[in-house]
Amino acid sequence: MAEGLRERKKRETKQRISDIATGLFLEHGFAQVTVADVAEAADLSVNTVYNYFPAKEDLFLDRMDGVTQRLARMIRGRDKGESAAQAVLRGLRQDIGAVSPAYGLMDGFDAFMNVIEHAPTLKARLFHVQQQVQDAVVATLREETGAPADDPLPLLVGGQLTWVENAVVGYITRAMTAGGGATTVSREALVLLDEIEELLSERVLTYAVREG
């Protein structure tokens, strides 16, 4: 369906607030900037800002919904004859090979991470996001395989697939904050993915194969 005028204006307003807030956080630090500061810079009321972003952390980490469902979408979209792990590895290779900013492969990522490093509440939010990623993967594996609630395999496999992404993102984060270039770090991360795949057992690599 085509986006209506009201929906477009709301989306644009939300993006504008987020962009202004991010700029303030990058310049002054997360703790030093209040929601009132963001509202004033955006020429809006504090209540309006809260209508779009329920918590201050949401102003900086405003794209986490896409992150929490990213691996689950890869699994649900796997090809016929492809397992959950193969779909995740393929999706990661595609995104990282394309030097996707979604994985931190962009200029300025070191400044973004510096804000998080000095904000305990942002660190806590990211930890919660990681748990949400795993929960989404496990739920998707149960749904896709029809595994009963007492079957531990979705949890065990889901934990390993979540670890795969965490390991790669952790490597990219360290390399980018150390001054690495996005293209170079992307190539190095692809090599790391090959090594990670070799560590996965056959049982993990062949779990939840989509029937042809």
Three-state DSSP class for 177? helix
Indicate whether 1 pLDDT > 80.
no
Write down the pTM of the prediction.
0.88
Three-state DSSP class for 210? coil
What pLDDT does 212 receive?
Answer: 74
What pLDDT does 89 receive?
Answer: 98
Q: Which of 184, 16, 25 is closest to 114 using CA atoms? A: 25
Q: What are phi and psi of 62, to 5 degrees?
A: -90, 0
List, for residues 30-85, the tens digit of each pLDDT value. 999 999 999 999 999 999 999 999 999 999 988 777 889 999 999 999 999 999 99
What pLDDT does 63 receive?
Answer: 75
HEC string of 80-129 equals CCCCHHHHHHHHHHHHHHCCCHHHCCCCCHHHHHHHHHCCHHHHHHHHHH
Half-sphere exposure of 49 (CA within 13 A, CB side): 25
